[in-house]
Amino acid sequence: MVIDCHVHVSATVMPHGRMSRQLLKSLPFRFMRWRLGLDPEGPAFDQELGILLDHLVGESEVVGLDAAVVLAFDAVHDRTGRIDFDNTHLYVTNDYAIELCTRHPKRMFFGASIHPYRRDAVAELERCAAAGAVLVKWLPIVQNFSPADPVCEPFYEALASLKIPLLCHTGGETSLPNLDKSVADPALLLPALKRGVSVIMAHCGTRSKPTETDYLPTFVRLAKEFEHCYGDTAALSLPTRSYAYETILNDPYVSRKIVHGSDWPILPVPPGMKLRLADSIRLWGESNWLRRDILIKQKLGFDQAYWDRAAKVLRLTK
């Protein structure tokens, strides 16, 4: 079974979630909105986005995709566990992600998101696990916490005992406002790895801008050191991140730790330096970005074990 482990949705009305005005007005979101042909300020945006995503996954069956993990996105919380809406730009509740996956059971798996500073973090994890969560998604630089904070330890223990992998953003990020850039380092996930949590390091620690620190070498070191440390290929076709393909395709040990993820609706850019011109032109013509992302990675030469790996790590069987 081929799974895309990293697909985002947004939500605009409570109790589904919310988006800040700042995010709605930002260039990347205006571009996506134009590209998807949906109006986030329209009354049926949330529902239309769910239907569109189901359709795009269905259209990607011909290139081998079976289903996508649809990610909730928790609000910012402070260290005392209080929710901080002023600094929350994207919020997608677990209940809404559950609802979407229930509505589209063949093509969507539930990716929960639980801020580790929440007082009910472990209880919420247990609730999400019972509702079918296949992973937990974090984006520390945007959700404003450190994965190395000792407050996270009970959460790691619960993840390990429930055998739920943690999909955690590593490296830079430009689509969402950053609250704390110092927590981009994959090494901050050491406490989770040491407790036996399967960690998928989203983006393999790559830079989102040339001026940022490159954490790819840190990811490589951790992937070699810990059996249960993985990296995903989400957004790696962006020109700023595509330098990682060289390492993750050619290092024989690291290539065995890479799982498929797109980061939809982030634009997949055919990496011109690594593909023939005719292939790049053809890939630009593919309008379904989930499918384009797969076609790019097929052309780059990812092997069958790569395509099958996400389902294994997430313990999914047909």
263 near Zn ion, rule: CB under 5 A: yes
Q: How far is the CB of 232 from Zn ion (least distance, A)?
A: 9
Among residues 7 and 311, whose Cβ is nearest to Zn ion? 7
232 near Zn ion, rule: CB under 5 A: no
HSE value, Cβ hemisphere, 13 Å, CA-based, for 313 = 33
74 near Zn ion, rule: CB under 5 A: no
Asked whether 53 and 68 are in contact (CB, 8 A), the reply is yes
Q: How far is the CB of 173 from Zn ion (least distance, A)?
A: 8
Name the one range near Zn ion by CB under 5 A: 149-157, 185-193, 255-263, 267-275. 255-263
Among residues 234 and 248, whose Cβ is nearest to Zn ion? 234
Q: How far is the CB of 14 from Zn ion (least distance, A)?
A: 22
Asked whether 243 and 206 are in contact (CB, 8 A), the reply is yes
For Zn ion (CB under 5 A), the number of binding residues is: 1
Q: How far is the CB of 167 from Zn ion (least distance, A)?
A: 9
Name the one range near Zn ion by CB under 5 A: 42-50, 147-155, 261-269, 299-307. 261-269
Among residues 38 and 70, whose Cβ is nearest to Zn ion? 70
Among residues 74 and 263, whose Cβ is nearest to Zn ion? 263
Q: How far is the CB of 249 from Zn ion (least distance, A)?
A: 21
Distances (CA, A) of 209 to 219, 220, 241: 17, 19, 8
State which residue has the least CB distance to Zn ion: 263
Among residues 9 and 158, whose Cβ is nearest to Zn ion? 9
**Structure tokens given for 184:** 């981009």
Q: How far is the CB of 174 from Zn ion (least distance, A)?
A: 11
Among residues 237 and 280, whose Cβ is nearest to Zn ion? 237
Sequence-ordered list of residues with C-beta below 8 angstroms from that of 247, at least 6 positions apart, any chain: 216, 220, 254
Which residues in 31-49 are b (16+ Cβ under 10 Å) and which e?
Answer: ebbeebebebeeeebbebb
Name the one range near Zn ion by CB under 5 A: 107-115, 187-195, 208-216, 259-267. 259-267
Provide the binding-site residues for Zn ion, judged by CB under 5 A. 263
